[in-house]
Structure 1
């Protein structure tokens, strides 16, 4: 069996934990401690995050999308495939090393998507962009943790609170959607979305097509 090789590491924003980029043959993994945050072989649910969101805003003119978390770019590439030339996608990534990995060791996986004219990369907290303006976005896609709880950055807890969700609703245009990826269900988060006045769908999806672990995507819609 081909062994894993660690290519690089980076501290999380609080300086308390370490992200590690590893490679085994053509396969990449990003680890947080002993937890695997993402793997280049498992992309189905991350792509579904974009596909489900783009379906809900298909009638929007010149859609503007905010993606929280660059990861391995699966959500970004799926959004680019679904959206037209007049779309604008802003990706917020809090850890600069993740952007460097995308342009360096994992450049082949990203397949030039970071250089698409529709894409802007912001090395900043997605929460800051959410709070920066009302009615700014047609869709906000969050895949910054393994679920609605701050893991990589404890400050992300605020994103999933009623106050944070209300801020996301304010940031959306009428008919806009907030989509949140999770490794599993969370009834409390569903309740908070409803408390923030969203219409909520909870979609079960697979990590890799019809196989792999079951993941959950919340599609929360702001009334038109």
Structure 2
């Protein structure tokens, strides 16, 4: 078997530890503190996050969506495929190196989505971007860390708190959709979404699309019009 090769590493802002990019043959992996955050062979659930959230708003004249977490670009690519030519997609990525990797080592995995003219990249905490404007986005997708209960970076906790959910709700336009990805189910988070006043649907999807037994969870939380 081919060994993993370390391609690059970078510090996560806010004492989040080292983020490392590995390659093994045609497979890539990103980890933090020895926990794998993402693998290029398993992006079916990331694709589903974008598809489910964007389908809800794709028929709007000029949909504007926010993606929290660039990852390997799969969520962004799927969003672009399900939105029209007049869409605007803002991507907030906390770690500058992840943007760099998506422009180099990882660029071809998702067919170079950063080169699409509809995309704006913000090297920033998505929580701060969410709080910049009210009723600014038709959809917000959070693909940050390993989900509400799988944190490798403690600063992400506020995204999934009641305050974080209230901020996301304020940033959505009426009838807008908040989509949240998670490696595992989380009944407490489901309860917080309901408590924040969202109309929610919890979906279980395959990590590798149509293959494999591993499952991930997606919450679709609609802001009432």
For residue 136 of structure 1, what is the aligned residue in structure 2? 136
Give the alignment's Cα RMSD to 1 decimal. 1.2
- After TM superposition, the structure 1 stretch with the greater mean CA deviation from structure 2, 55-64 or 200-209, is 55-64
For residue 109 of structure 1, what is the aligned residue in structure 2? 109
Confirm or deny: 8 A CA contact 1:13 1:153 kept in the other structure: no
Unaligned runs of 5+ in 2: none
For residue 81 of structure 1, what is the aligned residue in structure 2? 81
Confirm or deny: 8 A CA contact 1:204 1:214 kept in the other structure: yes
Q: Which runs of 4+ in 1 moved over 3 A?
A: none
Q: CA deviation at 1:209?
A: 1.5
Q: Deviations over 1:1-53 (max 9, x none)?
A: 11110001111112341111000111100011221110111110000000000
Q: CA deviation at 1:87?
A: 0.1
Superposition map of 1:56-71 within 5 A: 56-71=56-71
For residue 118 of structure 2, what is the aligned residue in structure 1? 118
Confirm or deny: 8 A CA contact 1:29 1:40 kept in the other structure: yes
- After TM superposition, the structure 1 stretch with the greater mean CA deviation from structure 2, 144-153 or 54-63, is 144-153
Unaligned runs of 5+ in 1: none
Q: CA deviation at 1:60?
A: 1.7
- Taking the aligned partners of 1:133 and 1:167, their CA distance within structure 2 comes to 10
- Taking the aligned partners of 2:203 and 2:187, their CA distance within structure 1 comes to 13
Q: CA deviation at 1:150?
A: 7.0
- Taking the aligned partners of 2:7 and 2:186, their CA distance within structure 1 comes to 34
- Taking the aligned partners of 1:215 and 1:140, their CA distance within structure 2 comes to 18
Q: CA deviation at 1:111?
A: 2.0
TM-score (norm 2): 0.96
- Taking the aligned partners of 1:16 and 1:101, their CA distance within structure 2 comes to 18
- Taking the aligned partners of 1:180 and 1:210, their CA distance within structure 2 comes to 20
- After TM superposition, the structure 1 stretch with the greater mean CA deviation from structure 2, 9-18 or 35-44, is 9-18
